[in-house]
Structure 1
Amino acid sequence: MMKKIQVLLLVVTMQLSFAQNNVEFSKGADVTWLPQMEATGYQFYDTDGSKKDGLQLLKDRGMNTVRLRVFVNPSDDPRSGHCSKEETVALAQRAQKMGFRIMINFHYSDSWADPGKQNKPAAWKDLPFEKLAQEVYNHTFDVMTALKKAKVKTEWVQVGNEIPGGMLWPEGSTDNWNQLGILLNKGYDAVKAVDKSIKVIVHLDEGDNIEKFRTFFDNAKAQNVKYDVIGLSYYPFWVKKDYTETIANLEFNLNDLVTRYNTEVMVVEVGGEYDKVENTKELLEATIKAVKNVPNNKGLGILYWEPQGEKSWSGYSLSAWLENGQPSPALDAFKD
């Protein structure tokens, strides 16, 4: 009998190991502009000139994941507003019905939060720190509960967007690491209270900047910050270098983070110049390879930031869409 139990346990262990090692690599995009593009009349086309759903065009190119940002009390500006709880739930439902996996990205602001600005929502502006921390919990819990009630299965949640200097300034600045640690853990706890299986991401920019990541996550460790995945942005354009000059540092950093912090890693934002199609395709191929090369399947995936946000609509030159409304051939890098 004991031998049978031992054999059964071995089989179960092998099955779990097989399942873990065969989790599908995440390939996708932040597509949060999509509903507003459609609302303003923007049309998407396939390479044969036929009109097509923007999400379908991305799926046809091998993408399986969408990342959706959430603002607290956004304006109705088509490019810098929207992203409310209700709009996020609707877009997540739409994407999930098409077979996409879902990542939610909390900015904890009424509009963009990034390394240069981490503005508190207007409604939270004058709160004492304890109430500010509770609002982080409440807002996160509220949005995640709405998604759950809508039967959206969220796989990943970002607590903050590109936060090397912290978030919810000044209280949550890296000048106040003990407070930043509390805010991050409030977001983590709210996510896990809704669904323990969701992986929580902490996200920095400049994924090839090894020292930036070590400084931040050494401090996070000292503050007992809880997370499951380290998210990286990777944009050679913004550091005025070609990807060939930075890809080795990205690959080193991915592996260093996994070893140093016993975590999983994911490139949650990447992009290249829309009018340098071949270079952007090569950048994407190299980034996919770097993440896939992380040992033990600890490199979870790679997401393009707003590839469908064609420049004439968005003003954004790192999209991956052509002027005729068709996907850039650079996105073929996501095909198997």
Structure 2
Amino acid sequence: MLRALGRCSVRFPGSPAPNMATSHSTSHSRGRTSSLSAFLLFLTFLTTPILAFYKGVDWSSAIVEESSGRIYKTAAGVVKPLESIFAESAVNIVRQRVWVNPSDGNYNLAYNLKLARRAKSAGLDVYIDLFYSDTWADGDHQPTPAGWPSDIDNLSWKVYNYTLDVCNALAAAGISPKIISIGNEIRHGLLWPAGTVDHWGNIARLLHSASSGVRYSALGNGPKIMVHTDNGWDWPAQKSFFTNLLAQGSFTAADFDMIGLSYYPFYGPSATLANLKTSLTNLATTWHKSLAVVEINWPTSCPSPKYPFPRDLANIPISVEGQVTFVKTVANIVKGVAGGVGVFYWEPAWVDNSALGSSCPYNTMFAWPGTALASLDVFKSL
């Protein structure tokens, strides 16, 4: 990147040397003007930032899998570290969920530091997803960590200090996340019961504390702060959430940089691609934030879906090839929206949990017992 152009004399090919006779001054002037224009155009190219598209996967369960004996292989059958397989498939960022004090230690801070170091060594960027929970937190569950305060004043301070500590630990380990999500799928709030949607003022205070914990840490303004909600296809729900949140005054547009959405099409017929596009478009034009779809899956097998699939996905096969088509389709929708910056596949290597929470038994991009499917290479074409 060209940082600055200092004071200097720049001569362009074909320009006259000092004291040269000026009998052809008109033609030389045209030459100078043309060369100057070309040079300025070149400088513009050099100094215009190229916005990278996040081609991501959530690999939170990698160490859990490996601890049980899981060995990962490329599609060609070559044993390699999972991070290397991802990098060779053109994945450029990995997402990691952080739990506060899980009973078995999985997904805690120490676990994530180990995982993030591996990602960094493979040249992958890191996206940290702070759950503010000891276990799963999503649209239906947002349990407050054991031992944390229940009153909003002390809980807000706890959120700030916990976030600060996590970020400082990342910085001390040499990890500079590109993205930090302050909460996971928080459309119905976080840190219940204090942070339910019956208490929008509390939600705003908690998120402001979380954002401040990132900004005042050793990471500073490096990471993009994300607010992540579920049911990304549901524009009325997204509108209600962000309108109510930002109306409180304590959490403002300056407190976050990105909006992340989950989009799972196998949870109901309303989860159409068209509705996802509408939601992304309206979020972009209303709040002018960077946007990413941070959780997606597509099945390779789904003999008995609990819900009918959306109508505009009917032509995408339930197969390895269908995974490719689906990821490309979602990525193209994101790219077509102002501020659209990425797409993330959720836990493609968690083969011990291949249903990934859905009624479709196989949604991973690795076959049992750990060989990559051809669909993992979809990231090369995004």
Do they fold alike, i.e. is TM over 0.5? yes
- Please list, as runs of the form range in 1=range in 2, the aligned pairs for 1:160-309 lying within 5 A after superposition: 160-194=183-217, 195-224=220-249, 225=251, 226-239=255-268, 246-275=272-301, 276-295=319-338, 298-309=339-350
Bigger Rg, which one: 2
Q: Which SS does the other structure have where 1:154 is aligned?
A: coil
Q: Which residue of structure 2 aligns with residue 319 of structure 1?
A: 364
Please identify, of 137-146 and 51-60, the stretch whose mean Cα deviation from structure 2 is larger: 51-60
Q: Which residue of structure 2 aligns with residue 46 of structure 1?
A: 74
Distance, in Å, in 2 between the alignment partners of 1:185 and 1:324 is 43
**Residue 274 of structure 1, CA deviation:** 3.6
**Residue 319 of structure 1, CA deviation:** 2.1
**Residue 279 of structure 1, CA deviation:** 2.1
Distance, in Å, in 1 between the alignment partners of 2:162 and 2:202 is 18
Q: Which residue of structure 2 aligns with residue 36 of structure 1?
A: 64
- Percent identical among aligned pairs is 34
1:55 correspondence with 2:83: yes
Distance, in Å, in 2 between the alignment partners of 1:321 and 1:183 is 38
Distance, in Å, in 1 between the alignment partners of 2:189 and 2:337 is 27
Distance, in Å, in 2 between the alignment partners of 1:57 and 1:198 is 25
The answer on whether the counterparts of 1:274 and 1:321 sit within 8 Å (CA) in structure 2 is no
The answer on whether the counterparts of 1:237 and 1:273 sit within 8 Å (CA) in structure 2 is no
Cα offsets for 1:54-95 (capped at 9, x unmatched):
12111121100011111111121xxxx611111111111110
Distance, in Å, in 1 between the alignment partners of 2:188 and 2:323 is 29
Q: Which SS does the other structure have where 1:174 is aligned?
A: coil
The answer on whether the counterparts of 1:199 and 1:229 sit within 8 Å (CA) in structure 2 is yes
- Which amino acid is 1:69 matched to? R
The answer on whether the counterparts of 2:204 and 2:248 sit within 8 Å (CA) in structure 1 is yes
Note closer, same or farther for the CA distance 1:279–1:60 as it changes in structure 2 (3 Å cut): same
Q: Which residue of structure 2 aligns with residue 93 of structure 1?
A: 117
Note closer, same or farther for the CA distance 1:264–1:131 as it changes in structure 2 (3 Å cut): same
Note closer, same or farther for the CA distance 1:15–1:188 as it changes in structure 2 (3 Å cut): farther
The answer on whether the counterparts of 2:83 and 2:118 sit within 8 Å (CA) in structure 1 is no
Higher relative contact order (CA 8 A, sep 6+): 1
Note closer, same or farther for the CA distance 1:47–1:221 as it changes in structure 2 (3 Å cut): same
**Residue 127 of structure 1, CA deviation:** 3.4
The answer on whether the counterparts of 2:225 and 2:258 sit within 8 Å (CA) in structure 1 is yes
- Which amino acid is 1:180 matched to? I
Distance, in Å, in 1 between the alignment partners of 2:373 and 2:244 is 40
Task: Show structure 2 runs of 5+ residues with no match.
Answer: 1-6, 9-35, 302-318, 357-361
- Which amino acid is 1:93 matched to? R
Note closer, same or farther for the CA distance 1:154–1:215 as it changes in structure 2 (3 Å cut): same
Number of equivalenced pairs: 317
Distance, in Å, in 1 between the alignment partners of 2:67 and 2:290 is 37
Task: Show structure 1 runs of 5+ residues with no match.
Answer: none
The RMSD of aligned alpha carbons is 2.2
Distance, in Å, in 2 between the alignment partners of 1:333 and 1:253 is 24
The answer on whether the counterparts of 2:189 and 2:195 sit within 8 Å (CA) in structure 1 is yes
**Residue 314 of structure 1, CA deviation:** 5.5
Cα offsets for 1:18-65 (capped at 9, x unmatched):
11xx12211011101001111110111112222111121111211000
Note closer, same or farther for the CA distance 1:287–1:313 as it changes in structure 2 (3 Å cut): closer
Note closer, same or farther for the CA distance 1:13–1:136 as it changes in structure 2 (3 Å cut): farther
- Which amino acid is 1:267 matched to? V
Runs of 4+ in 1 over 3 A off after TM superposition: 10-17, 312-315
Distance, in Å, in 2 between the alignment partners of 1:212 and 1:287 is 20
Cα offsets for 1:217-259 (capped at 9, x unmatched):
1112212322110100111012257xxx711221222121111
The answer on whether the counterparts of 2:94 and 2:125 sit within 8 Å (CA) in structure 1 is yes
More helix by share: 1
Distance, in Å, in 2 between the alignment partners of 1:257 and 1:160 is 19
TM-score with structure 2 setting the length? 0.78
TM-score with structure 1 setting the length? 0.89
1:331 correspondence with 2:372: no
The answer on whether the counterparts of 2:54 and 2:343 sit within 8 Å (CA) in structure 1 is yes
The answer on whether the counterparts of 1:247 and 1:287 sit within 8 Å (CA) in structure 2 is yes
The answer on whether the counterparts of 2:75 and 2:373 sit within 8 Å (CA) in structure 1 is no
Note closer, same or farther for the CA distance 1:324–1:131 as it changes in structure 2 (3 Å cut): same
- Which amino acid is 1:219 matched to? N
